Amino acid sequence: MIRAVKVRLYPNVQQTREFNKLLGCYRFVYNHMLSLKNSTYKENGTNLGLNELSKHFHNVLLKDENYAWLKEQNTKVMKQAIRQVLVAYKNFFTLHTGFPAFKSKKNVQTAHFTSETISKKNTFETKHITLTTAFKNVKFRCSNLQHGRLQRYKDNIRSATLSKTKSGRFFLSILLDVNEDEYKKFAHIGKEVGIDLGVKDFVIASDGQVFENKHFFKKEEKKIKKLHHQLSRKVKGSNNREKARLCLARQYERMTNKKEAYVHEVVNALLKEYDIIYMEDLNVQGMLKNHHLSKAISEVGFYRFKQVLTNKALLNNKRVILVDRWYASSKTCSKCGYVYKGLTLGEREWTCPVCEEHHDRDLNASKNILAEGKRLTNNRLP
């Protein structure tokens, strides 16, 4: 099984300079090849492939004196930029992602290393890694769990991706071929649950368990506004503006890390207690079009939660079953089945006029999702 181990790099001054050079050259090759591929297709309808782009790289770019600085970089690493262009086109046509865009220095920068460009002498005992000859003994930091995996599977490294965040931090994502049991940590206990996702509370389970919405953005909103204001007052191109930009980027990064950690915390808690989890198949993109709720919905992170939950459930042989998004889970009485068609978003509680059962809106929805999920699967546990 191929899994990634992400470590944070702590390069010295010289290594930082070399990393920046590498990322700049990688970005240049990517943009140059993307421009060449676009222009050639517009001019004569020719779709350049890997062979044509590689020949152009070796016979034109590397032999041009204006681009002599490209020769300082590892050729095998630079050619991965060409492959990235082709992958971006493939994803555009097959997965209907956005049309390939040019890379910018202002965004997250990446470079891909194949297994051939990673030193076979790496033992990771001292938490140092060697990539190409230009990057020897780069210090890194990661959890003890990830460090142990690196040491055990050091001979099974497939590739690595270097990334530089907007805040200037360097990370390396190392792909390893690991034993599947490494990622199985939740035992089967034969329980199932329905969950409802909300803005007031993040996750509401049908058994009454509630995971709060911690409002990571809302708590930092004033500070972020202040940092944005400070950035806008700085002269463009000045060192002070760059310092202000880094402060803002680091604040966003801290907020994102807290949010990501909380999503994993909630997912782990659910998978520890349940084997089958029923939830609504939410149309997150459609929900974000509601300008009254878009900020609150994006702050919670419904899509990321669903993604992490599905992936971890699959690794542990557990199931996440989606209920139709049009199912009236909040409006239906979980006791008698009466549908309260007049329920508004502002009503957090309501009483069924038929059986007089008093409902908490979200808890009632999670109970209905559980019942509907059982109906769809005929109540069969895996």
> DSSP H helical segments within the chain, as ranges?
13-44, 50-56, 75-94, 144-152, 216-233, 239-273, 284-287, 294-300, 302-315, 361-377
In whole angstroms, give the CA distance from residue 356 to residue 333: 10
CA contacts within 13 A on the Cβ side of 51: 0
Buried b (16+ CB within 10 A) or exposed e, 16-54: bebbbebbebbbbbbbbbbebbbebeeeeeeebeeebbe
Query: Tell me: the pLDDT tens digits for 131-165?
Result: 988 899 999 999 999 999 999 999 999 999 999 99
Give the pair of three-digit tokens for residue 9. 């790099």
pLDDT tens, position by position, 262-303:
999 999 999 999 999 999 988 777 777 777 777 877 888 888
SS3 194: strand
For residue 223, how many other CB atoms are within 10 A of its CB?
Answer: 13
Domain boundaries, the chain: 2-181, 192-323
**pLDDT in the model for residue 382:** 46
Distance CA 373, CA 382 (A): 14
What is residue 298's predicted lDDT score, i.e. its pLDDT? 82
Q: How far apart (Å, rounded) are the C-alpha atoms in residues 206 and 365?
A: 8
Interval 86-129: pLDDT, tens: 999 999 999 888 899 999 998 999 999 999 999 999 999 999 99
Q: Among candidates 258, 257, 366, 275, which has minimal Cα distance to 312?
A: 275
What tokens does 23 get?
């990322």
pTM for this predicted structure: 0.87
Query: What pLDDT sits at residue 140?
Result: 97
**Strand, helix or coil for residue 333:** coil
- pLDDT tens for 219-242 read 899 999 999 999 999 999 999 999
- Using the 8-state DSSP alphabet, how is residue 343 labeled? -
